Amino acid sequence: MKVLFSEEQLQHGISRMAAAINERFGSEPLTVICVMTGSLILVADLIRQLDMPVKLGSVHASSYKGKTSRSNLQLDASMLPNVKGTNVLIVDDIFDTGHTLNAVHQHIESLEAASVETAVLLYKHGRQELDFKVNFVGFEIPDEFVVGYGLDYQGIYRNLPYVGVLESHDLDPDE
């Protein structure tokens, strides 16, 4: 596995993103929605750098079955707070095809939030299947399979303090 972003680089990118979010929302209260499970570490680091009052909630979105193949998106919004009339920031680990963030965004909008914006740690080029604009991006990356800092492969590697690229010999050949 090769390191794509070191722990120090990640923290610098998250600080840049937090500064942009602070500038955008000022002192207005913000409801941050963590797209579980991949963005858990990002959200923990990000919200500690936000200056406004923050309410936290989560949704569980899953579109991968075991390995690296995408399947039907499943969304569990049972852990969402009441967002009606609030400013909401949806935070996800990676923007890949766009399906997950789009589905969560549409769901939050249906709950009559005052505004809904999005932030991702990684924006992967070349895989988008939807025309969707992400408001805050930590890093742009090429189309490679990444793990660490919350991102996983078959449920492992989320605990790595950096983002690494899995090389072909790291992946299951039966994929």
Q: Which residues are catalytic?
A: 96
Four-way CATH pick for 2-66+73-143: 3.40.50.2020, 3.10.310.10, 3.30.420.40, 3.90.1150.10: 3.40.50.2020
Contacts 24+ apart (CB under 8 A), 44-52: 45/11, 45/14, 46/14, 46/17, 46/18, 46/21, 46/91, 46/119, 49/14, 49/15, 49/18, 49/19, 49/22, 50/18, 50/21, 50/22, 51/22, 51/27, 52/22, 52/25, 52/26, 52/27, 52/28
Residue in 116, 60, 70 with CA at minimum distance from that of residue 93: 60
The model carries a pTM of 0.91
- State pLDDT tens for residues 38-62: 999 999 999 999 999 999 999 998 7
Q: Where are the domains of the chain?
A: 2-66+73-143
- State pLDDT tens for residues 118-174: 999 999 988 888 889 999 999 999 999 999 999 999 989 999 999 999 987 777 655
